[in-house]
Amino acid sequence: MRVRGVLAGILTLVVALCVGLPIEARTFRVAFERDVASMDPYVRTGSHASAFHHNIYEPLVRYDAQLEIEPALAARWRTVNPVTWHFELRRGVRFHDGNVFDADDVLFSFARVRAEGSDVAGFVESIKQIRKLDSYTLEVVTKAPDPTLLNALAHWYIMDREWAREKGAEQPAEPTGPRSNHALLHANGTGPFRLGERRPGVRTILEPNPDWWDEPRHNLDRVIVTPIESAQKRTEALLSGKLSLTLPLLSRDIERIDRAEGLRVLRGPDLRTVFLGMDQFRDHLLYADVEDANPFQDRRVRRAIYQAIDVEAIRREVMGGASRPTGLLIGPGVSGYREMVDRRMPYDPERARALLAEAGYAQGFGITLDCPQGRYVNDVQICTAVAGMLLEVGIRVTPAVHDTRKFFKKLLNGDVSFYLLGWTPGDLDAGSVVRDLLVPPHEGGLDWNAGRFGNREITRLSRRIDGEVDIAKRQAMIDQCFRIMHEEAGYIPLHQQALAWGVRDGVDLAQRPDNALHYWTVRME
């Protein structure tokens, strides 16, 4: 009798396991490459965390699906004079715990975002002060006229003053900090989702906020976010039916997912531009077999390399057609991008050979191309293809492949001669690309300009771009900077890669070129 009872129990368990529990209504399961390091919107690095936090916390203004600015916590705004803005805040907005949102929360957030430990202070750097005119009106004064203020504000999320005070999280946790901080694991925003469960590195659950001020487009009951680092495992998980969506996909998995029953691949243009950089600063290259000179300091050599690379062949053979060749360091979707400036020098190996001969390198030279592995779509294959193409004109390229961490360390130390890099401007604005990559580090550019490309005219223009509020004038200067870059062949732009998201049928969502997935745009059958 007892044996039979035990057997019946085991049988029930087996049946239950095989049938499985009924799947909860409309749970959106998604896997990304890595976990968001913290729930604190001021403790973060990179666009992935920013996109995730946006589901919980909201900025004053936000980007819509076309990457145009639209009102969020600020209902409307106007410029009083070039450095003074008035923002009228949205009324009737509540944080997830019920606290009312008002001007004090913005003032608190302004102090907190600039506190020690915050990683996103850069977005409010141009703001001199914020004054409260009344509970729902703010005056923002910038240090200088700032044409990209709204773009920057879209990345600064507002936190609740009362909640942060109560929980002892008035400041973001510092990396050297002595103890944990409540806001690292908990959240209280105004956004469309509230934090349901947080297990760092394991999974994060979001639940819809029924009191959201905006009309929700989504119909989800729950979102489960899991980090799965390996692209292959993400694909397996999607194929096994345990995920609704995963990104990014490897090129080799795209076809497999497209063929699979019930799955499809969402494709779209990516904002990231992949390009080649060259050391134009040192008198002797670190990694070349030219003894007495730096060939990259000769514009003819840079143009020769540019014209020796068949970017269409890279698109066709390496990228499987999924890339958009470009002559700029920005693509459509970045504000300040203009189709008419986006021109490439033609592929012309004959001309390249002639230019090299003219520059005194008829026999070519040997050079090492530093290349990250797994950072960009097919990065290593691109480097190999480039090496093959340059060999045609006599330049002997040895690709040196590094894992991403070591590659970036090497790059930022300027320890490269010839390298492959990808770039998405953090504020989605062309002006910052000019300032960061077209100006050498000792003149205000970033160390990411590892070849220290520079041009006096660009440096001069870039200072004016930063303060120019007249959109047309500003655009003309940006265009001019990229024209000079093109003429000088200061960089060799290759392409914008394409986004590829693996999605289960029945999921409908807006795919944005900045690779940001916002759950409030997702609908499931």
CB 429 within 8 A of CB 334: yes
CB of 347: closest distance to other proteins in angstroms?
31
Q: Binding marks (x or -) toward other proteins, 292..331, rule CB under 8 A?
A: ----------------------------------------
Across-strand partners of 94? 100
Residue type, 320: G
Map the footprint of other proteins across residues 6-35, applying CB under 8 A.
16-18, 20-21, 31, 34-35
Q: Binding marks (x or -) toward other proteins, 450..469, rule CB under 8 A?
A: --------------------
Other C-beta atoms lying within 10 Å of the C-beta of residue 76 = 10
Number of residues that bind other proteins (CB under 8 A): 58
176 touches other proteins (CB under 8 A) = yes
Q: Binding marks (x or -) toward other proteins, 405..424, rule CB under 8 A?
A: xx-xx--x------------
CB of 408: closest distance to other proteins in angstroms?
5
Across-strand partners of 449? none
CB 479 within 8 A of CB 341: yes
Question: By CB under 8 A, which span of 43-51, 54-62, 136-144, 363-371 interacts with other proteins?
Answer: 43-51
Candidates 157, 147, 92; CA nearest to 119 is 157
CB of 56: closest distance to other proteins in angstroms?
17
Residues 6+ apart with CB under 8 A from 265: 249, 254, 257, 258, 500, 501, 502, 503
Of residues 199 and 343, the one with the C-beta less far from other proteins: 199
175 touches other proteins (CB under 8 A) = yes
CB 34 within 8 A of CB 230: no
Q: DSSP letter at 121? A: G
Q: Which residue from 76, 180, 312, 366 is in contact with other proteins, where contact means CB under 8 A?
A: 180
Q: Exposed, middle or buried, 16 (CB in 10 Å: 0-12/13-18/19+)?
A: exposed
Q: Which residue from 70, 229, 258, 289 is in contact with other proteins, where contact means CB under 8 A?
A: 229
CA distance 200 to 39: 9
241 touches other proteins (CB under 8 A) = yes
Other C-beta atoms lying within 10 Å of the C-beta of residue 90 = 19
Map the footprint of other proteins across residues 100-119, applying CB under 8 A.
117, 119
In the structure, how many helices (H) and strands (E) does the chain have? Answer: 16, 21
Binding site for other proteins (CB under 8 A): 16-18, 20-21, 31, 34-35, 37-38, 43-46, 117, 119-120, 122, 173-181, 184-185, 199-203, 226-229, 233, 236-237, 239-242, 403, 405-406, 408-409, 412, 426, 432, 436, 441, 446-448
